[in-house]
Amino acid sequence: MKVLGYASSSKEAGLTPYNFTRRDPRPKDVVIEILYCGICHTDIHAARNDWNSTIYPVVLGHEIIGRVVSVGPDVTRYKQGDNLGIGCMVDSCQKCDACEQGEEQYCKKGATLTYNSIDPHDQMKTFGGYSEKIVVPENFVLRIPDSLDLKGAAPLLCAGVTTWSPLRHWKIGKGSEVGVVGLGGLGHMALKLAKGRGANVTLFSRSPGKEQDARRLGADDIVISTDANQMASVNNKFDLIIDTVPYVHDVNPYIASLSRNGTLVMVGFLGNLDPTLNTAPMVRGRKSLAGSAIGGIAETQELLDFCGEHGITSDIELIKIQDVNKAYERMLKSDVKYRFVIDVDSLKARG
């Protein structure tokens, strides 16, 4: 299948139009015309090979909303015309304990990622959602509730489920005390979802001026993390803190803010944290530092259904695909509230 998209050809190059070939559909595959694709910070990392794992050329994008154009003969869940979503994975081994428990993101053989991955069935490279069409097994696509705006639903496939998964795993509900570090693409979803689950929610921010927006998104309180007095006022308070910051930073102040048995979960940064982690408050209060990655397919569908019931979508800025390089630069300056979404129909403007 010949497809047009936008790709990065090297770590120094910007994204440009790219013609490539998708694999042929298999009997249980769904062929989807892509309508919208969110831009994730992971896309920038991959484009610039920050993790030394990019296979160029790479077509990015794993927050995909599309419409079914055809289905394989063995597909039973979906039909032509259905609105569907594709997140960060398009396959997994389906046999290990993680997969059998609905946590395909932790597949022991490694999940097949939506882009920059190798399909184990035919050894073809996977390409993401900055493109016209995609082919995905039916058990790795997700139904989008009719009540959701399709554009605003796109970031739920990554930013949404990345923050939903720890809320669900640590059983956050009515009366829980939740802190959110960072008000960006992940952070604004964490505020909305934690509030939607009934928690009391506090935003940690390094600078003032975000209070009005934070409260609109669901925050009950705002703590300026650079203010020692404000930080001291929330010592031993939080059952869960979701840390969405995507760069190296000191987590010690946030660990002190955890309640007994509380957990600080990292969802925004992959790499080596400050090596001077102070374990004293962890030992004295049975506090934990943990990590969490996206969510399984059933968990993501659960999130989408929850969002459909509660009217939750991402705050987005819709852009043409021709403006993707400008969007990357703006993201690095935190100049977006709070997620860019590509109108993939703009690909047609080339001709």
pLDDT (tens digit per residue) in 202-252: 999 988 888 999 999 999 999 999 999 999 999 999 999 999 998 889 999
CATH code where residue 192 lies? 3.40.50.720
pLDDT (tens digit per residue) in 291-300: 999 999 999 9
Q: Are residues 171 and 100 in the same domain?
A: no
Q: Are residues 148 and 183 in the same domain?
A: no
Counting the structural domains of the chain, the total is: 2
CATH code where residue 48 lies? 3.90.180.10
Predicted local distance difference test score (pLDDT) of residue 79:
95
Which range of residues forms the domain containing residue 224?
Answer: 162-291
pTM attached to this predicted model: 0.94
Q: Are residues 125 and 11 in the same domain?
A: yes
Q: Are residues 19 and 144 in the same domain?
A: yes
Q: Are residues 173 and 150 in the same domain?
A: no
Three-state SS for the chain is CEEEEEEECCCCCCCEEEEEECCCCCCCEEEEEEEEEECCHHHHHHHCCCCCCCCCCECCCCCEEEEEEEECCCCCCCCCCCEEEECCEEECCCCCHHHHCCCHHHCCCCCEECCCCECCCCCCECCCCCECEEEEEHHHCEECCCCCCHHHHHHHHCHHHHHHHHHHHCCCCCCCEEEEECCCHHHHHHHHHHHHCCCEEEEEECCCCCHHHHHHHCCCEEEECCCHHHHHCCCCCEEEEEECCCCCCCCHHHHHCEEEEEEEEECCCCCCCCCCCCCHHHHHHCCEEEECCCCCHHHHHHHHHHHHHHCCCCCEEEEEHHHHHHHHHHHHCCCCCCEEEEEHHHHHHHC
Last residue of a domain, one of 291, 316, 333: 291
